Structure 1
Amino acid sequence: MSNITHQSGVTGANRVTRKLKLSGVSEGQADALVSEIRQLSGMEIVGYSPASATLTFVYDAAQCGVDTVAKVLNSFGAGFATSTWNRVKMGYFRFTDQNIKDNAAHQPHCCNKSPRL
């Protein structure tokens, strides 16, 4: 077993790291934005680099998602950058977040029983 300790409520198997560029973030609101994102359920680590305008965050994808972070950004008048690469990454992140949520909610059945309908 691993000795890694996570924030309460964050499962190591569902833990993902995301790094995306932002647009529309002023210097004065960066700290408030990061602290607001840290308050989200399932969020473990949040960091913002003003030099590259990059937001790096680690969260439990069964509890939180990229779209939840986007809502917080929109409330501050900021958002994810609209570059092609950022949009491709956002689509992939949404896909994997949904898969993790679906897998976390799945109730497996025994192989020796007939399938549930």
Structure 2
Amino acid sequence: MDSKQKHKVGVNEDSLMVRHLKLEGPVYENHQSIIQEIEKLLGVDAVSVNPSESLLKVAYDATKRELNEIEEIIRKHECDIADDWWTHFKEGYYKFVDQNVKDNASHEPWSCHKRPPGR
């Protein structure tokens, strides 16, 4: 990404995650509703669905959004994450990385050159 690229309000480029997930169910019929609802979430930078390939692409700030929230919206519109090995593997990896980004964002760095807290 270009460092001069503008992002939506509530999106920090340092914690921006881009995810690709295969969907199943009536994607063609419901993809516009899914996109519209996900776009409204604070921290979502971009979302698109390729209905012919049943592929969701979403970019979001991992300190503000979780993949579970996006999946709930997908399920609300009668679709789901594809039930295949590769998609489940990516989904698990995405959630692991997102949690690390969220944890690291709230972690206060400590240096061995400073006195420990409370001393």
Same fold by TM-score, threshold 0.5 exceeded?
yes
Q: Within the alignment, does 1:9 sit opposite 2:10 as a pair?
A: yes
CA RMSD in angstroms, aligned pairs only? 1.7
Q: Give the aligned partner of residue 70 of structure 1.
A: 71
Counterpart Cα distance in 1 of 2:28 and 2:86: 24
Give yes or no for contact 2:28–2:54 (8 Å, CA) kept in 1. Answer: no
Structure 2 length as normaliser, TM-score?
A: 0.89
- Quote the Cα distance in structure 1 between the aligned partners of 2:41 and 2:52: 25
User: Match for residue 22 of structure 1?
Assistant: 23
Q: Which amino acid aligns with 1:28?
A: E
Cα distance in 1 for partners of 2:21, 2:75 equals 15
CA contact (8 A) 2:63 2:101 kept: yes
Gaps of 5+ in 2: none
Residue in 2 that maps onto 1:115: 116
Contact 2:33 2:77 in 1 (8 A): no
Conserved 8 A contact 2:27-2:51? no
1:4 shift after superposition:
1.6
Compute the displacement of 1:111 (Å).
Answer: 3.4
Q: Is the contact between residue 44 and residue 61 of structure 2 (CA under 8 Å) also seen in structure 1?
A: yes
* Displacement after TM superposition at 1:26 (Å): 4.1
Q: State the secondary structure of the residue aligned to 1:99.
A: helix
**Residue 42 of structure 1 pairs with residue 43 of structure 2:** yes
SS of match in other structure, 1:56: strand
**Residue in 1 that maps onto 2:104:** 103
The offset of 1:115, in angstroms, is 3.0
Q: How many residues align?
A: 117
Q: Distance in 2 between matches of 1:13 and 1:71?
A: 25
Shift of 1:110: 4.2
Q: Which runs of 5+ in 1 are unaligned?
A: none
**Partners of 2:27 and 2:113 in 1: how far apart?**
59
With 20-29 and 84-93 compared, the bigger mean Cα shift is at: 20-29
Q: Deviations over 1:10-35 (max 9, x none)?
A: 01110111001001134332111110
